């Protein structure tokens, strides 16, 4: 099969084509696994973190991609939940041990043996992939392959982030950064909390316009002060400045949820601007979001189908994965990016 493989960890600014198209052997499904013919795979900012070494794959080469929509070609032994021809999705959680204290208490996202799709094992930037039946999700009919892909990470992690904010209807939510996840969170909030107000902080004028089209009550630049103090903020940016600025905009008792697997260090100095009375005093909280559970993915898919959420997508052919990644790096963003396989 054809696959876009990550063969080296490097800086995308100097190495603009870190993925190479290669011909590799088709994967073979093991016990309780399924073989998928990949139809579409979302492109995520986390892939930049893998390529640039902030969360490097434990072995190279590896096939990236963790928002995979595919059709089952073959099922391995052991029977199970799906049959040949079913359309299923694969998300960032490829497996968890099922035995540790986290797995036993509904927190498999924190599992000591958490394995990530497309980093710890081969993912969906390829014609085929295998996955355990227990870590695949039926894709609701209402979504096309392309639409479903970004729901599997950007949507699911956005859903988890929103849960972690503890937001209630009528409250004020800030979103710093407005890429794939931010725009899905905004759509979700409008459905779940129709009286909540959403304030969007984004650097690019285009992102701010897009946020207003989708119903943000106010938009501004990352370091603008929001016109009202916020009950919660979700940060989806790769840098530090928005964290500090979000804390300033939080109301007393407010919570900042940081949804980023790693932060870049380019503006780490900005953290020195932290002023205790301005940014932290009055019981302000900071919480990070780590990975997703299977429940996050399936609950979000169900909700997204009911609403229904139609993600904005930009499509690239598989062989142009490098271009899609560069567009994310260089912030040519509107909605989510998806590879058509
Ligand atoms: Zn992702
Ligand atoms: Zn575990």
Which residue, among 76, 75, 68, 62, has the nearest Cα to 121 in the 3D structure? Answer: 62
Q: How close is the Cα of 304 to the center of ligand 2, in Å?
A: 28
For 69-114, what is each residue's pLDDT tens digit? 999 999 988 778 999 999 999 999 999 999 999 999 999 999 999 9
Supply the DSSP string of 275-299, one letter for each residue. -IIIIITTT-EEEE--S--HHHHHH
The bound ligand whose nearest atom lies closest to the alpha carbon of 43 is 1
Kindly report the pTM of this predicted structure: 0.93
88 Cα: distance to centroid of ligand 2 (angstroms):
24
Q: Which residues pair with 220 in a beta bridge?
A: 201
Pairing state of beta strands 137-138 and 87-90? antiparallel
Average pLDDT, the chain: 96
Counting ligands in written order, the one closest to the CA of 107 is 2
Section 254-281 average pLDDT:
94
Q: Are 255 and 201 in contact (CB under 8 A)?
A: no
Pairing of β 336-340 and β 33-43: antiparallel
pLDDT at 68 over 90: yes
Instruction: Give distance in angstroms: CA of 276 to centre of ligand 1.
Output: 33
Question: How much distance in Å is there from the Cα of 112 to the middle of ligand 2?
Answer: 6
* Distance between CA atoms of residues 24 and 21, nearest Å: 10
The ligand with the least distance to the CA atom of 291 is 1
For residue 4, how far is its CA from the centre of ligand 2 (angstroms)? 30
Give me ligand 2 centre to Cα 293, in Å: 11
Expressed in angstroms and rounded, the spacing between residue 46 Cα and the centre of ligand 1 is: 5
User: What is the pLDDT at residue 180?
Assistant: 87
High-pLDDT (> 70) share of the chain, %: 100
Q: How far is the CA of 157 from the centre of ligand 1 (A)?
A: 8
Q: How far is the CA of 154 from the centre of ligand 2 (A)?
A: 23
**Proximal ligand: closest to the CA of 119:** 1
Shortest-distance ligand to the CA of residue 337: 1
**Residue 222, CA atoms < 13 Å, CB-side half-sphere:** 16
Rounded Cα–Cα distance for residues 6 and 121 (Å)? 12
Q: Would you place residue 121 in the very low, low, confident or very high pLDDT band (cuts 50, 70, 90)?
A: very high
Ligand 1 centroid from CA 38, angstroms: 17
Relative to the alpha carbon of 99, which ligand is closest?
2
| Burial call 288-313: b when 16+ CB within 10 Å, e when fewer | ebebbbbebbeebbebbbeeebebbb
pLDDT single digits (tens) 293-322 = 999 999 999 999 999 998 889 999 999 999
- pLDDT attached to residue 273: 96
- Cα(113) to centroid of ligand 1, in Å? 19
What mean pLDDT do residues 215-243 have?
A: 96
Counting ligands in written order, the one closest to the CA of 103 is 2
Tens-place pLDDT, residues 148-200: 999 999 999 999 999 999 999 999 999 999 988 999 999 999 999 999 999 99
The rounded Å distance from CA 152 to ligand 1 centre is 8
Q: What percent of the chain has pLDDT over 90?
A: 91
């Amino acid at each position: 099969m054809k696959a876009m493989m990550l063969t080296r960890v490097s800086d995308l600014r100097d190495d603009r084509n870190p993925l190479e198209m290669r011909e590799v052997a088709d994967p073979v499904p093991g016990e309780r696994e399924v073989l998928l013919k990949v139809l579409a795979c979302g492109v995520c900012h986390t892939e930049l973190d893998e390529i640039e070494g902030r969360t490097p794959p434990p072995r190279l080469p590896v096939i990236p991609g963790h928002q995979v929509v595919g059709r089952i070609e073959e099922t391995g032994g052991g029977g199970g939940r799906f049959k040949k021809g079913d359309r299923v999705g694969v998300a960032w959680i490829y497996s968890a041990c099922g035995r540790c204290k986290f797995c036993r208490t509904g927190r498999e996202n924190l599992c000591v043996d958490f394995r990530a799709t497309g980093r710890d094992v081969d993912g969906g930037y390829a014609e085929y992939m295998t996955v355990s039946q227990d870590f695949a999700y039926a894709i609701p009919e209402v979504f096309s392959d392309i639409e479903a892909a970004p729901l599997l990470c950007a949507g699911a992690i956005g859903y988890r982030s929103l849960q972690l904010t503890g937001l209630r209807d009528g409250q004020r939510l800030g979103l710093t950064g407005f890429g794939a996840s931010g725009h899905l969170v905004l759509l979700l909030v409008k459905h779940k909390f129709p009286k909540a107000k959403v304030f969007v902080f984004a650097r690019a004028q285009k992102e701010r316009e897009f946020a207003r089209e989708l119903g943000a009550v106010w938009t501004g630049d990352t370091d603008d002060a929001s016109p009202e103090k916020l009950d919660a903020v979700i940060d989806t940016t790769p840098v530090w400045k928005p964290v500090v600025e979000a804390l300033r905009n939080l109301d007393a008792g407010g919570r900042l949820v940081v949804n980023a697997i790693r932060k870049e260090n380019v503006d780490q100095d900005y953290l020195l601007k932290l002023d205790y009375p301005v940014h932290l005093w009055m019981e302000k909280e900071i919480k990070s979001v780590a990975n997703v559970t299977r429940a996050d993915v399936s609950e979000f898919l169900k909700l997204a189908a009911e609403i229904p959420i139609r993600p904005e997508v930009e499509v690239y052919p598989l062989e142009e994965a490098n271009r899609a990644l560069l567009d994310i790096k260089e912030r040519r963003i509107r909605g989510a990016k998806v590879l058509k396989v």
